[in-house]
């Protein structure tokens, strides 16, 4: 009976270790995949207002220069 109990305990420990390794690998993969979208988000967040302001500036210069 003790041998069976020890085998079960060892199998559970191995299972727990494998789950921890899998969790670590999933976290690494998520960081790599998510980082590209994060950079794209910040570039878009900065680029859109710059484009809007430059468009307003060009329009203002066009209106002022034609008067």
Q: Give the pLDDT confidence of 2-40 residue by residue, as tens digits.
A: 677 788 888 889 988 988 898 888 888 776 665 667 777
d(CA 39, CA 37): 5
pLDDT surpasses 70 at 44: yes
Q: Which pLDDT score is estimated for 34? A: 59
The secondary structure element, H or E, covering residue 43 is: helix 2-65
The residue whose two tokens read 């329009």 is 59
pLDDT at 63: 86
> What is this structure's pTM?
0.44
């Amino acid at each position: 009976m003790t041998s069976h109990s020890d085998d079960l305990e060892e199998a559970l420990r191995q299972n727990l270790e494998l789950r921890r390794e899998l969790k670590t690998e999933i976290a690494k993969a998520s960081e790599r995949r998510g980082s590209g979208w994060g950079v794209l988000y910040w570039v878009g967040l900065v680029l859109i207002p710059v484009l809007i302001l430059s468009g307003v500036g060009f329009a203002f210069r066009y209106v002022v220069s034609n008067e």
